[in-house]
Chain A
Amino acid sequence: MSLVNFNKTVIKNLFSKPATRKYPFEPKVYPERTRGHVVNDMDVCVLCGLCSIKCPTHAITVDKAAKTWSIRPMSCIQCRSCVDNCPKKCLSMDTQFTEPGSEKLTKTFPQSEKAIAAQEALMKAAKERAAAAAAAKAAQAGNAANANPVANAAPAAQAPAQPAAEKKDE
């Protein structure tokens, strides 16, 4: 007798709202975790290249000389491995999928002026610190030559270690 029972479901379905959406008039609202496509915030990216090493399909190319980051969306399998491994957390996964296309594109993004400036400032600061450290070491070495070599050996060895620790903190 269950056909009669199921008829109830069928009739109910006939008069209720369809289970499907009226795409494209009613676009889908994706949940927050949907892996749509990878986006990179070029203001923050330092072009370290970790994402391209960790990408299983080699979809990402980082060109340090030309200061560009590029992705081949057709090769990307939306695994989110690059997002998890980015040290600057500038990669993220957008919930929308990329638009359909007829060509295998490569999307290239240049590093932004802001990021270049920030990176150059950092490099300059690091260089200055290194130069200062070298000068201090030279001065200390000079002192050590003059004074008792045994007493001064320990501070001289410590001097180069300091700037390295500072670098790590930034």
Chain B
Amino acid sequence: MSTRSVIPFGPQHPVLPEPIHLDLVLEDEKVVQAIPSIGFIHRGLEKLVDKKDFHEMVYVAERICGICSMGHGLGYCDAVEHIMDLEIPDRAKFLRTMLSELSRIHSHMLWLGLLADAFGFESLYMECWRIREEVLDMFEIATGGRVIFSIMKIGGLRRDLPDDMLADFRQRLDKIEEQLKVVAKPFYDDVAVKNRLVGVGILTPEKADLLGTAGPFLRASGIARDIRSTEGYCAYDQIEFEPIISTGCDSYARTEVRIKEIFQAIDIVRQCIDKMPAGAVDVPVKPNQFPNGEYMTRIEQPRGEALYYVKANGSKFIDRMRVRTPTFANIPALVEVMAGCDLADVPILVLTIDPCISCTER
């Protein structure tokens, strides 16, 4: 038996600027065990419920993460709206759906770029991020922010997106789709890309289910579990789509699922624009109307199922806000797939769960 050695991986590591730390127990070049530790960027955002009232908490929720900020705002607002029995107008529901799908496109494009960077395909990486930039421009036109959107509010949306803006978005999306088809090809059938991805980090469906995996990581193991179709929150119950799965169970399957989800997201945005009802985008909340009760919302973030728990006590300040993010659910499965892999594959495997440590630690 060869000797074992421990290599620390992170918190500063070559894959992406997210401070996850792994202690890799190695036997020669093979990883025997990976021991994760998190907690490097805990900011105590949930504790801010003591200082910020329930309207202001929307801004805090959005700042949990820079990539899924739309989803965090949506999840928190949805939970509070359920507590307060607010029925938001249909137009706001469709706009929320549309904006979350746009954020899915930009999140997955970011991930594809990082993946290309991890296996050393620099021009593909640049190309992915260039296309992502156009989605961010759309966000800036619609909400006024590229990363923090500040468009969600309790009771709907703060600003309406006029119909000519939506028509413009449709044209922009047509262009983005064309460009995407070009960059998707190397991911699907390039030999070098396949060598790095096929058969790397197999996660069997049983294990995926047992370890509570979420999002594209789970669906790449052949389990069709997507909160958008099971819960039908926002306007997802009025949109036609099927969860995308792949039965490959490896890193290649995860890439495939995410690429297909981008095209699906573009399709959902088009459906939203087609079906967009007219009318107001918010219901007023009276100054003396406070939430009282508790609620738990589940939404499908780009990275998987996220859970928002809000407990309110009938005053301006809520008692508790809790966010369970998809990356947190995916870490056990990550540790599982790492056992037995090559040291050189560790960056790719860390990347295939699309880690967002800022969300995880809040």
Selected from B148, B182, B191, the residue in CB contact (under 8 A) with A9 is B182
Selected from B124, B150, B191, the residue in CB contact (under 8 A) with A80 is B150
A13 contacts partner chain B, Cβ-Cβ < 8 Å: yes
A164 contacts partner chain B, Cβ-Cβ < 8 Å: no
The answer to whether residues A31 and B186 also contact, given A9-B127, A13-B123, A78-B150 and a CB cut-off of 8 A, is no
Task: Determine the residue in chain A with the shortest Cβ distance to B121.
Answer: A6
The answer to whether residues A33 and B192 also contact, given A3-B186, A79-B59, A93-B144 and a CB cut-off of 8 A, is no
Q: B287 CB to closest chain A CB, in angstroms?
A: 11
* Residues of A close to B190: CB separation below 8 A: 2-3, 6
The residues in B between 215 and 235 inclusive whose CB is less than 8 angstroms from any CB of A are: none
B43 contacts partner chain A, Cβ-Cβ < 8 Å: no
How many Å lie between the Cα of A46 and that of B188 in the bound state? 62
How many Å lie between the Cα of A161 and that of B308 in the bound state? 50
The answer to whether residues A3 and B56 also contact, given A9-B182, A31-B140, A78-B145 and a CB cut-off of 8 A, is no
The residues in A between 13 and 43 inclusive whose CB is less than 8 angstroms from any CB of B are: 13, 19, 30-31, 33-35
B320 contacts partner chain A, Cβ-Cβ < 8 Å: no
A84 contacts partner chain B, Cβ-Cβ < 8 Å: yes
Q: Is the CB of A33 within 8 A of B143?
A: yes
The answer to whether residues A19 and B159 also contact, given A2-B190, A33-B144 and a CB cut-off of 8 A, is no
How many Å lie between the Cα of A78 and that of B56 in the bound state? 13
Chain B interface, number of residues (Cβ within 8 angstroms)? 28
The residues in B between 171 and 230 inclusive whose CB is less than 8 angstroms from any CB of A are: 182-183, 185-186, 188-192
Q: Is the CB of A6 within 8 A of B123?
A: yes
How many Å lie between the Cα of A34 and that of B141 in the bound state? 7
Q: Is the CB of B185 within 8 A of A5?
A: yes
The residues in B between 125 and 169 inclusive whose CB is less than 8 angstroms from any CB of A are: 127, 130, 133, 137, 140-145, 148, 150, 158-159
Q: Is the CB of A34 within 8 A of B59?
A: no
How many Å lie between the Cα of A79 and that of B69 in the bound state? 13
How many Å lie between the Cα of A3 and that of B119 in the bound state? 14
How many Å lie between the Cα of A6 and that of B182 in the bound state? 7
A interface footprint on B11-28 (CB within 8 Å = 1, 0 otherwise): 000000000000000000
Q: Is the CB of B185 within 8 A of A2?
A: yes
* Residues of A close to B82: CB separation below 8 A: none
Q: B329 CB to closest chain A CB, in angstroms?
A: 29
Q: A90 CB to closest chain B CB, in angstroms?
A: 19
Q: Is the CB of A80 within 8 A of B158?
A: yes
The answer to whether residues A3 and B191 also contact, given A78-B150, A80-B158 and a CB cut-off of 8 A, is yes
How many Å lie between the Cα of A1 and that of B189 in the bound state? 7
B52 contacts partner chain A, Cβ-Cβ < 8 Å: yes
Q: Is the CB of B150 within 8 A of A33?
A: no
Q: List 27 A-B contacts (CB under 8 A).
A: A1-B189, A3-B186, A3-B190, A3-B192, A5-B185, A6-B123, A6-B183, A6-B186, A9-B123, A9-B182, A10-B123, A13-B123, A13-B127, A19-B130, A30-B140, A31-B140, A33-B141, A33-B144, A34-B140, A35-B145, A56-B59, A77-B148, A79-B150, A80-B144, A80-B150, A81-B59, A84-B158
Q: What residues make up the interface of A, taking CB atoms closer than 8 Å to B?
A: 1-3, 5-6, 9-10, 13, 19, 30-31, 33-35, 56, 77-81, 84, 93
